[in-house]
């Protein structure tokens, strides 16, 4: 029996409920679609290709569960799959920056009045809506509300999550002022850091779009890395927190049960996700613990129990790459599961993110190319020409790839 990617993912998600769907898809792709090899890589060799145990009856329930993105990211003990340890809390700027490579933390980043005014405006903004997107041909709706802000003079189409954005707001004076200050901070920090090969250099980091999320007490943002497709390789994203303090978690993308770290970015603080962060880490905003009582002193004077986040983004990759099989735009990703391929940037057909039913009945498009950032358009059919970046502390990939060259 040939099983669709959707069915295989459902089974993987059942076995590894702590992993996000994107990560599991990466594993499956790296393992050539083999469930057995995926399970071996994730640390459980007991699964068989033909196994469809419990799948049929549980499929609908499981799909609904994860496609609605309602699951809290469980990072503590699980009865199945590899165990993940408890999150380590990082309290100070020093602790954060010495622990999380590619991440800096900047408290009190805007003038107090500006931060408060911005929060007031965004908190009251009724144009925020749940994010809608397609995953494996199924419509998904995020449970936090979002809004995209673009400068008034933007004329080119804007893409997010693989889709052209039709509904957005233009910048308010407050967002414009915040952007100017954030650009200054980021460019200043960039001038003090060693640049990675594909990143924009100090002085050249400019914001083209601001994405804002609003989290009420029952909303969260699932584990993810931001898609590189438009922000490009070695993207730098500046993330401003306003209002109620929520947890922000980060962990390395490999190994799959890597240590989780927990930060509590305060009102008016900036987390800069530097070049390498989207490649090597995943992040999330977890749900508040069930039935948690918020202490009176934690209630924010402006937004009460609501946190608003703004991510300032530089859209570095302007040329789109189209799938040679179906003509859809391609998604840029970086392989990381298999150490012998880790670091290779690849383009994959984005149809599953943009079209209903694209994954049904094994219809998913397998369009694929290697990214090559020196070329225009930036792709190649030859792996040897492909752009690649390995983190300098990734001894596993370095060892694996040096033995391949011999
Ligand atoms: O709210 C946050 O701190 C993170 C937002 C985020 O990761 C995103 O919008 O992609
Ligand atoms: Fe993100």
Q: Is the previous residue joined to 255 through a cis bond, with omega within 30 degrees of 0?
A: yes
Q: How far apart, in Å, are the Cα atoms of 296 and each of 50, 301, 305?
A: 55, 10, 10
Nearest ligand 1 atom to alpha carbon 271? 3
Instruction: Report the pLDDT value the prediction gives residue 20, as an integer from 0 to 100.
Output: 65
Q: How confident is the model at residue 51 (pLDDT cuts 50, 70, 90)?
A: very low
Average pLDDT of the residues in 368-391: 95
Between CA 355 and CA 193 the distance in angstroms is 41
Instruction: Report the pLDDT value the prediction gives residue 156, as an integer from 0 to 100.
Output: 79
Instruction: Report the pLDDT value the prediction gives residue 41, as an integer from 0 to 100.
Output: 61
Between CA 349 and CA 330 the distance in angstroms is 4
Q: Residue 214 in contact with residue 164, Cβ under 8 Å?
A: no
Average pLDDT of the residues in 199-223: 95
Domains contained in the chain, CATH given: 5-67 (no CATH), 88-313 (2.60.120.590), 330-405 (no CATH)
Q: What is the pLDDT of residues 339-369, one digit of tens each?
A: 999 999 999 987 766 666 555 556 678 889 9
Q: How confident is the model at residue 11 (pLDDT cuts 50, 70, 90)?
A: confident
Between CA 211 and CA 312 the distance in angstroms is 7
Name the β-bridge partners of 284: 249
Q: What are the DSSP E strand ranges found in 225-352? A: 237-243, 248-252, 260-263, 269-273, 281-285, 307-313, 330-334, 345-349
Q: Residue 215 in contact with residue 65, Cβ under 8 Å?
A: no
Nearest ligand 1 atom to alpha carbon 146? 9
Q: Residue 350 in contact with residue 330, Cβ under 8 Å?
A: yes
CA 201 to chain CA mean position, Å: 22
Q: Ligand 1: which of 143, 146, 213, 312 to mutate, most ligand atoms within 8 Å of CB?
A: 213
Q: Is the pLDDT of residue 46 over 80?
A: no
Tokens of 4: 């669709």
Going from the Cα of 45 to the center of ligand 2, the distance in angstroms, rounded, reads 32
Q: Is the pLDDT of residue 263 over 90?
A: yes
Instruction: Report the pLDDT value the prediction gives residue 360, as an integer from 0 to 100.
Output: 58
Q: Residue 99 in contact with residue 316, Cβ under 8 Å?
A: no
Average pLDDT of the residues in 227-251: 96
Between CA 116 and CA 121 the distance in angstroms is 9
Q: How confident is the model at residue 60 (pLDDT cuts 50, 70, 90)?
A: very low
Phi, psi (deg, nearest 5) at residue 319: -85, 130
Q: Is the pLDDT of residue 325 over 50?
A: yes
Average pLDDT of the residues in 388-400: 94
Instruction: Report the pLDDT value the prediction gives residue 73, as an integer from 0 to 100.
Output: 35
Q: How confident is the model at residue 209 (pLDDT cuts 50, 70, 90)?
A: very high
Q: Is the previous residue joined to 74 through a cis bond, with omega within 30 degrees of 0?
A: no
Q: Is the pLDDT of residue 185 over 80?
A: yes
Between CA 397 and CA 280 the distance in angstroms is 12
Average pLDDT of the residues in 101-116: 98
Instruction: Report the pLDDT value the prediction gives residue 378, as an integer from 0 to 100.
Output: 94
Tokens of 394: 């990734």
Average pLDDT of the residues in 180-194: 98
Q: How crowded is the C-beta side of 24, counted as CA atoms within 13 Å?
A: 25
Between CA 271 and CA 274 the distance in angstroms is 9
Q: Is the pLDDT of residue 205 over 80?
A: yes
What percent of the chain stands above pLDDT 90? 57
Instruction: Report the pLDDT value the prediction gives residue 65, as an integer from 0 to 100.
Output: 37
Q: List the residue whose alpha carbon is closest to atom 10 of ligand 1.
A: 226
Q: Residue 234 in contact with residue 275, Cβ under 8 Å?
A: yes
* Cβ < 6 A, ligand 1 pocket: 211, 213, 221, 226, 239, 248, 283, 285, 309, 311
Q: Model-level pTM?
A: 0.81
Q: Ligand 1: which of 241, 264, 285, 287 to mutate, most ligand atoms within 8 Å of CB?
A: 285
Between CA 124 and CA 108 the distance in angstroms is 22
Name the β-bridge partners of 348: 331, 368
What percent of the chain stands above pLDDT 70? 77
266-284 per-residue burial string, b: 16 or more CB within 10 A, e: under 16: ebbbbbbbbbbbbbbbbbb
Task: Decide if the complex's ipTM is over 0.90.
Answer: yes
């Amino acid at each position: 029996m040939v099983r669709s990617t959707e069915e295989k993912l459902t089974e993987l998600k059942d076995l590894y409920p702590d992993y996000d769907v994107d990560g599991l898809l990466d594993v499956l792709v790296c393992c050539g679609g083999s469930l057995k090899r995926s399970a071996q890589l994730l640390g459980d060799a007991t699964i068989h290709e033909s196994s469809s145990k419990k799948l049929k009856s549980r499929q609908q329930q499981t799909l609904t569960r994860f496609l609605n993105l309602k699951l809290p990211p469980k990072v503590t003990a699980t009865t199945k799959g590899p165990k993940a340890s408890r999150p380590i809390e990082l309290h100070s700027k020093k602790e954060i920056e010495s622990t999380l490579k590619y991440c800096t933390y900047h408290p009190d980043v805007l003038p107090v009045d500006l931060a408060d005014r911005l929060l007031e405006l965004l908190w009251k903004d009724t144009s925020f809506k749940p994010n809608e997107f397609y995953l494996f041909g199924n419509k998904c709706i995020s449970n936090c509300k979002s809004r995209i802000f673009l400068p008034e003079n933007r004329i080119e189409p804007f893409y997010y999550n693989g889709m052209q954005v039709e509904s957005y707001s233009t910048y308010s004076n407050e967002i414009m002022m915040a952007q100017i200050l954030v650009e200054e901070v980021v460019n200043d920090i960039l001038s003090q850091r060693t640049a990675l090969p594909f990143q924009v250099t100090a002085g050249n980091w400019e914001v083209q779009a601001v994405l804002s999320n609003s989290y009420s007490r029952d909303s969260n943002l699932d584990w993810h890395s931001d898609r590189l497709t438009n922000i490009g390789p070695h993207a730098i994203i500046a993330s401003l927190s306003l209002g109620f303090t929520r947890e922000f978690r980060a962990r390395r993308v490999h190994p799959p049960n890597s240590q989780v770290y927990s930060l509590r970015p305060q009102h008016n603080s900036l987390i800069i996700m530097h070049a390498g962060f989207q490649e090597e880490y995943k992040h999330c905003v977890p749900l508040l613990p069930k039935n948690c009582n918020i202490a009176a002193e934690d209630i924010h004077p402006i937004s009460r129990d609501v946190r608003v986040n703004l991510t300032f983004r530089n859209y570095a990759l302007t040329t789109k790459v189209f799938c040679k099989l179906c003509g859809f735009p391609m998604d840029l990703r970086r392989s990381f599961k298999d150490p012998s391929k880790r670091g290779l940037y690849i383009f994959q057909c984005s149809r599953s993110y943009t079209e209903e039913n694209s994954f049904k009945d094994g219809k998913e498009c397998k369009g694929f190319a290697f990214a090559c950032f020196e070329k225009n358009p930036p792709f190649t059919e030859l792996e040897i020409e492909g752009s690649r970046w390995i983190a300098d502390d990734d001894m596993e990939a370095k060892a694996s790839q040096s033995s391949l060259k011999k």
